[in-house]
Amino acid sequence: MTQQRGTQSLQFDEAPYIISSSSIVGQKEGDGPYGSQFDQIEPDPYFGQNTWEEAESQLQLKTAMLALEKEQLSLADIRYIFAGDLLGQNIATSFGLVDMNLPLFGLFGACSTIAEALILGSMCVSGGYADRVLCLASSHFGSAEKQFRFPLEYGNQRPLSASWTVTGSGAFVLSSSCVGSHHAQLRITGVTPGKIVDYGFKDSLNMGAAMAPAAAHTISQNFKDFDRTPADYDRIVTGDLGQIGQEILLKLLLEQGYDISAQHMDCGIEIFDPETQDTHAGGSGCGCSASLLSAHLLKQLRDGKWNRILFVPTGALMSTISFNEGQTVPGIAHGVVIERR
């Protein structure tokens, strides 16, 4: 019982190792500032398939298999998969991973899903329930626009507060030991699972504002539960708040006495170049933070530029039905502490 920290967090006595990870993104993400760091850039938005949904399934499968291949792991080395996506009834995951023939825990945390997967995967490995698990999440611009907004063929105008769903996936192999890995030792040392936070925002095209309160809650709770300050982290990385959400996040935390302006970084702001890529509020989607975690954040840790980060992807818990029925857009944010050690 010593692993429980404060009211929400866990500290792992046997901190799981991230022994492999992979990222695959679309062409637009490949053309962005982090293009050279992703493992693969796929120029065909359909990934060789016939529909956007099949494309996302293929993206997820390829990313999963790449994470195994990079460390010469086989399917038999993985005991459980923790995975999800943004589509109704998780169809990108179900159809993408069926042929892996491994037990699957389907997850839904909107754009926070990769953190939910890493938290549950860490609990599983640290608890001795599996020697190795695979955690992954994806999003695809085509399938997300079709589901949440307008068919691409419609060519509608997008408000400046809207974000651009990232075509991308990130996959991570967590292990109870790091034997055989050439990586510097990256470990998930603690987690802060998040609560649903609803400030009553109703604009589904300004999701950064809707999600910022949840991020603020999880980050401040992490500080309290672990008795830490912002300076204890080299970076505090949110998922896809965008410019508007970032402003709100910094303000909300400042009101609680925490200034994270020196540490804060948002994957949605980072992944595209706003000057040249016309992506408005920034990138979004499960694949945004998942792909950037593998391609860039873990690399900075591995290279010794950072030693400890708090990774806090954020999700907007809505559907087109809830939105059309006049519901608010509540947010959730799950926190993962990743350390080089």
Q: How many CB atoms lie within 10 A of CB 286?
A: 42
- Give the contact letters, 302-321, x = binds to its own copies (CB under 8 A), - = no: ---------------xxxxx
SS3 category, 205: coil
Q: Is 298 in the site for its own copies (CB under 8 A)?
A: no
Q: What is the spatial distance between Cα 115 and Cα 165, in angstroms, rounded to a whole number?
A: 18
Furthest-apart CA atoms within the chain: distance in Å:
55
Q: Is 75 in the site for its own copies (CB under 8 A)?
A: no
CA distance 149 to 158: 10
Binding mask 116-135 for its own copies (x = CB under 8 A): x--xx--xx-xxxxxx----
The interaxial angle of helices 141-148 and 52-69, nearest 10 deg, is: 140
- Size of residue set near its own copies by CB under 8 A: 62
| Per-residue mark of binding to its own copies, 22-51 (x: CB under 8 A) | ----------------------------xx
- The binding track of 85-104 with respect to its own copies, each residue x by CB under 8 A or -, is -xxxxxx--xx-xx--xxxx
The minimum distance between CB 17 and its own copies, in angstroms, equals 15
Q: Which of 31, 77, 198, 232 binds its own copies (CB under 8 A)?
A: 198
Pairing of strands 80-84, 132-139: parallel
CA distances from 70 to 16, 39, 64, 74, 167 (A): 18, 10, 10, 10, 21
Residue 179 binding its own copies, by CB under 8 A? no
Please identify, using beta-carbon distances, which residue of 104 and 310 lies nearer to its own copies.
Answer: 104
Q: Which residues of 68-99 are buried (b: 16+ CB within 10 A; e: fewer)?
A: bebbebeeeebebbbbbbbbeebebbbbbbee
| 199 makes contact with its own copies (CB under 8 A) | no
**Among positions 4, 229, 261, 276, the unique one binding its own copies when judged by CB under 8 A:** 4
Q: Closer CB to its own copies, residue 243 or residue 319?
A: 319
Cα–Cα distances (Å) from 153 to 157, 167, 215, 260, 280, in that order, read 12, 18, 34, 41, 20
Quote the least distance from Cβ 319 to its own copies, whole Å.
4
Burial tier of 255 (Cβ tally within 10 Å: 0-12, 13-18, 19+): exposed
Beta-sheet pairing, 235-238 with 308-312: parallel
Is 8 a residue that touches its own copies (CB under 8 A)? yes
Q: How far is the CB of 41 from its own copies (least distance, A)?
A: 26
Q: Does 107 bind its own copies (CB under 8 A)?
A: yes
CB of 54 to its own copies, least distance (A): 8
d(CA 118, CA 19): 13
Q: Which residues of this chain interact with its own copies, rule CB under 8 A?
A: 1-4, 7-8, 10, 50-51, 53-54, 79-80, 84, 86-91, 94-95, 97-98, 101-110, 116, 119-120, 123-124, 126-131, 147, 176, 193-196, 198, 317-322, 325, 327, 330, 332
